[in-house]
Structures are given as structure tokens and as C-alpha cells.
Amino acid sequence: MSKHVFLTGPPGVGKTTLIQKVTQALKSSGTSIDGFYTEEVREGGRRTGFDVVTLSGKRGPLSRVSSDSSTSRRECRVGQYVVDVVSFEQLVLPMLRNVNHGSDAERKICVIDEVGKMELFSQPFIQAVRQTLTASGTVVLGTIPIPKGKPLDLVEEIRNRKDIKVFNVSKENRNSIFQDILAAVESCRK
């Protein structure tokens, strides 16, 4: 029996869009839901970084393209992006702590989009995700990247957990998979 639902698939395939559609459907049926997703930041047609956007409407930088090639050793980088770990933690950690407290007859839903390379620079985030996955009152609806290069410990842990249903999102199924994801989340709440 699944307790959580995660989507995986290549970058740009539509994981976040599906998460947003499922979130809207759940909200409109009165479901208690919180969490965050990541959104591209574009300037003049170029992607310049990513923002973290919470479901309560707060927004902050997750990463930006680095303008200079000389980098301090303490910088967290993924490709051309410098990750703003402090900004990420300020937005996400209070929400994750909050979702794990409070008792509802109905299980709350927590959106975590995504558990990826940038987010995993934060040790407190890793701990908070593990706590949220083991908390009995919370259903996580999240995304993880497809395996590429060196495996990411927490991502593989999530992928291999018996209590998580993982949907593989592709260009072929992304327009037809919505109902299945919604139904899976609903059944986790029972």
C-alpha cells in the first residue's frame, strides 16, 4: 500500500505542470495541501535560473546562472547555476516542519518538487524530507530526477521505498497520466 506519490522523468517533460494540475484539483476539492515547486526564471528568452515557489505564494531564488567563472570554494554549483541554499532553506524548511505538525483526521498533502541535485545541497532539507516521508499524517506528492551520472542517495532511497508509488512521466503519457496520479494521491490519503 503506497503512502506517497512521486513523479520522475527527463527535464522539461512536464513533471511540475502535472504536480500543479493535481494540486489545483486537490485544492478545489477542499484538501489540505502545502509545499513547494521549482519554476524556471527566464530573461530575454534565456533560462537564467530557478525560483522556489511555495503553495502559500512565497517565492525566492533557488539558483541563478553564475556571471563570473572564478568561484569561491564554498559555492554550491550545478552546471552553470549557483545554488542559493540559504534562500531555499528559509522558504522550504519552515513549511516542511509545519506540515509535520498538527493532527487532522484527513492526511495532509505535502508537495515537494523537487528532490534534486540543487535541493540536496541542504542537509536540513534532506533530514526534513526523510521525516516527512516517515510522518504518519502526511502524504508526499513529489518529483525526483531520472538516474543520470552519480546516483543521489536520497533520490535512490525514495525510488526504492516500498511505500512510494513512482510514475514515469514521458512525452507520450504526460497528457493521459493526470487521473492516475490524482487517484493514487487520493488512495494514499485513505
CA 26 to chain centre: 17
Quote the pLDDT of residue 147: 87
Share of the chain above pLDDT 90, in %: 76
Bridge-based pairing of strands 4-9 and 81-83 is unpaired
Among residues 137, 156, 136, which one has the least CA distance to residue 146? Answer: 156
Q: DSSP letters of 125-187?
A: HHHHHHHHHH-TTEEEEEEEEPP-SSPPHHHHHHHH-TTEEEEE--TTTTTT-HHHHHHHHHH
The type of residue at 166 is: V
pTM, full prediction: 0.92
Q: What is the mean pLDDT of residues 79-99?
A: 92
CATH of 4-37+88-189 given 3.90.245.10, 3.40.50.300, 3.40.47.10, 3.30.565.10: 3.40.50.300
In degrees, to the nearest 5, what angle opens at C-alpha 28 toward C-alphas 23 and 33? 45
Interval 119-169: pLDDT, tens: 999 999 999 999 999 988 899 999 999 988 888 999 999 999 999 999 999
Domain locations in the chain as residue ranges: 4-37+88-189
Rounded Cα gap, residues 8 and 114, in angstroms: 10
- Residue 14 contacts residue 174 (beta carbons within 8 Å): yes
Q: What is the pLDDT of residue 137?
A: 85
**Nearest alpha carbon to residue 3 among 94, 109, 95, 96:** 109
Task: Give CA–CA dist 152/117, Å, rounded.
Answer: 7
**Residue labelled with grid coordinates 504518519:** 136
Look up residue 107 and give its DSSP letter. Answer: P
